[in-house]
Structure 1
Amino acid sequence: MPFSNRPRQVDGNTPPRRLFRSPLHDFRRPSKNGRPARPAPPEATSAESFYYVKQMNAKTPMVIIMTDGEEVRGCIEWYDRTCLKVNREGAPNLLIQKHCIKYLFKEEELTR
């Protein structure tokens, strides 16, 4: 007879096994203070749009560095969720998609 720590019934058969897992329908834990959890932060802040509006209103000359290393100079005329329109002097205006922009800064910061 093999050794086992499981309890045996009188007739030598083992009782049915018990599940140790809790039921899956109750998987959320209640919060500690009784209030519902905080909502997730917003997907986007207004910092980007505030910066663009500030530069557009002042007609600040900007330098835009593209992901391929190209440098574009001009003033931001308008923007939306996916692109910027840049007015350039002596060159055609450009509509630049934001995912192609590496970074941008004010042109006056080059002379500092």
Structure 2
Amino acid sequence: MMKKMGFVWNLRRLMAERNMFQTTDLVPQLAEHGVHLSREQVFRLVTQPPQRLSMETLAALCGILECSPADLIEVRAVHRQTAKPVASGEAADRAVAPSSRSVRVWRPEGL
């Protein structure tokens, strides 16, 4: 089993706890801290975990939300099972059949 580190991005939750429900609320506040991001960039920052985050942006968010980086980012261990090589004869045995459901086809009269 391979151990990998992941994280949970808590920006949206921290904003809600401070009655900030619009992503656009952050745009002027970030600008006051010297971080100039477009509305679209701020929307992505709030709604998706960032792949990269500048220290200036992190510091600005912490200042705006009066929190620490640990409040914004929760690091967690993610356990993933590594796939074992499968012998060619075993591959067919492990194939999963597609799910089936009954379907009724209606045809117009006269066809």
- TM interval, shorter chain, is under 0.3
Q: Which has the higher helix share?
A: 2
Q: Which has the higher strand share?
A: 1
Q: TM-score, normalised by structure 2?
A: 0.24
Structure of higher RCO (CA pairs closer than 8 Å, 6+ residues apart): 2
Q: TM-score, normalised by structure 1?
A: 0.24
